[in-house]
Structure 1
Amino acid sequence: MWLYLVIFGCLSLCVPAPAVEQGRSCVFLTSSRNSRNMEEGRVNGTIQYCAHTNCCVGFFRIIDGQPVAELQGCKMVVGGCLDPTCFTSTTHLDYIRCECSSNLCNGNITWNAEEKQPQLKHSSHSTDMVTAIVVVLGMLLCTLVVAVKCRHRFRGYDDKQHLSLPEESLTSLCSCHISKQSDMDLTSMELQQIVGSGHFASVWQGSYQGTTVAVKVFPTWCKQEFTVEREVYGLPHLVHAGIAHFLGAGRKSDSGDCVLLLELATCGSLSSFLSKNSSDWTTTLKLAQSLSEGLAYLHSDFYRHGVHKPAVAHRDLSSNNVLVRDDGTCVLCDFGSSTILRSCAGPHSWQRYMVNVQSQVGTLCYMAPELLDGCVNLSSGWCLIQGDVYSLGTLLWELLMRCSDLFIGCPVPEHRLPYEEELGASPSLEQLIVHVSERRERPSVPKHWQQGLHDILLDSWDHDSDARLTAQCARDRLVSLPPCCSI
């Protein structure tokens, strides 16, 4: 039986996911709160035709015991949704939310005012859950087999980077031993309006002790994703201009939902910014440099003031997971899929690192070829770090394609995701494996651009992960580019 699980789990790593159905139509509510959803697909009156997802979403406020729609449209984050109907059994404050997978399904919500916890409604889902559990067990066993065969204990994130301190100091100074942060008192927190929703959490503009903040709310059944993100934000020395400023975390007393308080980036996500704005060379270069600086700092591994800051692999770097401040700089956010590359001595840290690593994590069109086809050594943190660098290359391409100074004499192309022009808005895993991994295709780079830009992109998304730049090297090359555009 166990042998069957191992084989089944290993084979499942290479089975392509089904293609996302094209052309989902959702009820769209025209309002100022729904402006960020406009980019998710074409709107015709009260209907939105989804460009990036197969899911509709709806947020409703409970007024006099009845749900009143406040936000409806296509889901802003790519991901699956099981239910064909807009059903929920959980209330957050006076709001209810649903995701559904049939046309116009978010037009009317069905909810049970008596229930406080989500319930499984369809018996057919039980089979899917059993299958998923078997796959996870098989993947875990495969990973443990790799761990047993490894000859060397994990230190840092690879043999390519070593710490100069003696091994005995690693345990005493490691971030594993830093005391956990206590929960904040959220009594004075006020949710004002919703600004976005993802697979695991919703993001609100809110107020805390008189300050305008971003409030990321995780429902109680997404505790694991909340814990991972809180752990990353709570690492020593993780304060940098290129990383979203973390203010604290806690639980809402009325619902028990987990909450992260973060700085509010007024320009929204990089995807939203690029869909609405083209930029001159100076603005584009500032965005690109700050983006690479933030990633380089996230990847850094160092000791300062007697405390260790480990390297972190983001693992879901996309234009939806980068924010733009009003000063024209980028900040990284959304660390729910990240892996902290501990360098603690001892088996505890090794096991913790291995268990938390899964092969295919992230947004497909930004995923490195070795991660798409599952042919990656997950015992090497270097592979995860370099997977981020590939994603950085596609993000830089996304930025540069909206630079007006690089298209003098012709219109600036509309904002597109990587491979959207070649494969459509929602390419399947199988399509991307063939296009990116087997054929080794990359987003098209205009031939008239200067060689320096070509080299940065080509060296960031090289098929060989070892041949790619590091994030710090990409940053240095961007800084070396001329301040005035010379295409």
Structure 2
Amino acid sequence: MLTWPGVFALLGAALPPAEAQQRRCAYLARPNNARPMEEAGNVSGAVQRCGHTPCCMGYFRLSHGPPIPDLLGCNVVPRECPESSCSSSHQVDNFTHCVCSADLCNANLTWLAPPPPGPASWGVSSICTVLIPMALLLLLCMVMCHRSIRKSGAKPSYGRVTSQCSCHGSQSPDLDLTCIELHQMVGQGYFASVWSGSVAGAAVAVKVFPARSLPQCLTERSVYSLALLEHAGVLRFLGAGSVPHGPDRFLVLELATQGSLRSFLCQNSSSWACTLRLAQGVAQGLAFLHSDFHRKGMHKPSVAHGDISSSNAVVRADGSSALCDYSCSTILCSCSPLHQHSNVSQVSPQMGTLCYRSPEVLDGCVNLRSSHYLLQGDVYALGLLFWELCSRCADLCTGPAVPEHQLPYEAELGGSPSLGELVDWVSERRERPHIPPSWGVHFQGTYTIKEVLEDCWDHDPEARLTAQSAARRLATLSP
């Protein structure tokens, strides 16, 4: 009987030499994940030839026997992968993952069980071998630091606690969900469904991830677990957990009673003041996500949302808005050059909803090792979101009736444009949704809403606004 490594070795040997220049990764995906996974590269049987990355990734289920492959393929997000073999010692909910940099390296996992804690079994020579070099290194660091302080003229701050750089949140314990009640499904996405419900009598939103979407659940929970992730433009996270003996995972969130922004726009037109408030909410939320700062001894790294759309923003009862759904997000670590652009998940298959994808992502001409395209891709989608909002604004409408809600490019390409149609229209022709002339003259501030849109969805990522600049410009517009 052939093992997994044996099967992939035989398949790899059969590949033609012309394709050896591309990274070849073992491929395994369930039907629910196959479609988005295939965007990372061409699939031939049990092998995927990566189109944009030198890294392979794998998710494995840990049981009593050998690790069982659950999701294998090319890694499609910025990630260092210096290890040539697939190995891991980190476990979450009986799953582990790896990223590696050799052909078919993800076909087999080397599970490195964590060593037992405590130095009781160490010998004297082992302790000396470890502690003496550490003491010398610490002494050297103190000398270098003291010289640097003297050279700069700064006063030493002995005993002061400085904030720690953290790219991974500290997850809170799971909630006891034995008393959870699901009332009504209010949304259905690719990876999860959203229900209105209650926990201990409190009204909440419950996001239910089936077992097949565990990687996306872990990604979203990791973002919500970051320190200092509290902002009016970000949906509030209340906790996570699972029902005993059930395969599904739950995220418990603040309930936005008016639903997703897309459903709100389908059912309601709005005044300019309401439209501007909704736009400012999502813009300020994205600016906060993109920010990297230290506060109260804690650090919040920058987060690229990865899937900005009207389906991934919600409207509260008071008319304010907030961003949600971080299953395709990426945490961008700024601690050191060795850890820059690390991400919380090893795979982000969707790369955003199709009609909101930026020209460079549609073309596939992006530097996947740079965080810049992730952030500016969010801003491009934000411009399309502003257009959606304005197209349902009664005060901006010059006709007898406010037009029905449409998604970006729906008027030009229909409700379900293909990737090829979007590449031709958005990237080759550089077309954008139609902006009525009235949007350039009404409710002017330092800028008009027309200028904000055009500067968000510029074809060149370098020329686009940052999320922070977009939020500042919206703040200058008159309500």
Q: Which TM-score band (shorter chain)?
A: 0.5 to 0.7
Which residue of 2 is the match for residue 467 of structure 1? 463
CA contact (8 A) 2:306 2:378 kept: yes
Once the two structures are superposed, residues 307-345 of structure 1 have per-residue CA deviations (whole angstroms, 9 ceiling, x without a partner) of 110010011011111111111111101100000001233
Residue aligned with 1:141, SS: coil
Aligned letter for 1:450? G
Unaligned runs of 5+ in 2: 1-11, 25-29, 56-74, 83-159, 442-447
Shift in Å at residue 360 of structure 1?
Answer: 5.7
Shift in Å at residue 5 of structure 1?
Answer: 5.6
CA root-mean-square deviation? 3.3
Alignment pair present for 1:480 and 2:393 = no
Q: Distance in 2 between matches of 1:309 and 1:453?
A: 30
Once the two structures are superposed, residues 160-185 of structure 1 have per-residue CA deviations (whole angstroms, 9 ceiling, x without a partner) of xxxxxxxxx99971224653322111
Q: Distance in 2 between matches of 1:354 and 1:332?
A: 18
CA contact (8 A) 2:52 2:368 kept: no
The counterpart of 2:433, out of the listed 443, 447, 466, is 443
Aligned letter for 1:255? G
Tell which structure's C-alpha radius of gyration is larger.
2
Which residue of 1 is the match for residue 366 of structure 2? 376
In structure 2, do the counterparts of structure 1 residues 172 and 245 end up closer, same or farther at CA, with 3 Å as the change threshold? Answer: closer
Once the two structures are superposed, residues 408-431 of structure 1 have per-residue CA deviations (whole angstroms, 9 ceiling, x without a partner) of 443211100000000000000111
Q: Distance in 1 between matches of 2:45 and 2:227?
A: 35
Q: Where does 1:271-310 land on structure 2 (aligned, <5 Å)?
A: 271-310=262-301
Which residue of 2 is the match for residue 243 of structure 1? 234
Residue aligned with 1:173, SS: coil
In structure 2, do the counterparts of structure 1 residues 135 and 350 end up closer, same or farther at CA, with 3 Å as the change threshold? Answer: farther
Which residue of 2 is the match for residue 141 of structure 1? 54
Which residue of 2 is the match for residue 404 of structure 1? 394
Once the two structures are superposed, residues 209-238 of structure 1 have per-residue CA deviations (whole angstroms, 9 ceiling, x without a partner) of 110111111112211010000000111111
Residue aligned with 2:266, SS: helix
Q: Distance in 2 between matches of 1:446 and 1:7?
A: 49
Which residue of 1 is the match for residue 222 of structure 2? 231
Q: Distance in 2 between matches of 1:360 and 1:6?
A: 26
Which residue of 2 is the match for residue 312 of structure 1? 303
Q: Percent identity?
A: 52
Shift in Å at residue 137 of structure 1?
Answer: 5.5
Q: Where does 1:81-230 land on structure 2 (aligned, <5 Å)?
A: 131=44, 134-135=47-48, 139-141=52-54, 173-176=164-167, 178-230=169-221
Q: Distance in 1 between matches of 2:226 and 2:346?
A: 17
Aligned letter for 1:306? G
Shift in Å at residue 379 of structure 1?
Answer: 1.3
Shift in Å at residue 448 of structure 1?
Answer: 2.4
Which residue of 2 is the match for residue 356 of structure 1? 346
CA contact (8 A) 2:79 2:343 kept: no
The normalised TM-score by structure 2 is 0.67
Q: Distance in 2 between matches of 1:230 and 1:149?
A: 23
Residue aligned with 2:250, SS: strand
In structure 2, do the counterparts of structure 1 residues 336 and 5 end up closer, same or farther at CA, with 3 Å as the change threshold? Answer: farther
Shift in Å at residue 450 of structure 1?
Answer: 2.2
Shift in Å at residue 356 of structure 1?
Answer: 3.4
CA contact (8 A) 2:167 2:301 kept: no
CA contact (8 A) 1:339 1:357 kept: no
Which residue of 2 is the match for residue 341 of structure 1? 332
Shift in Å at residue 463 of structure 1?
Answer: 0.4
Aligned letter for 2:406? R
Q: Distance in 1 between matches of 2:287 and 2:370?
A: 18
Alignment pair present for 1:458 and 2:448 = no
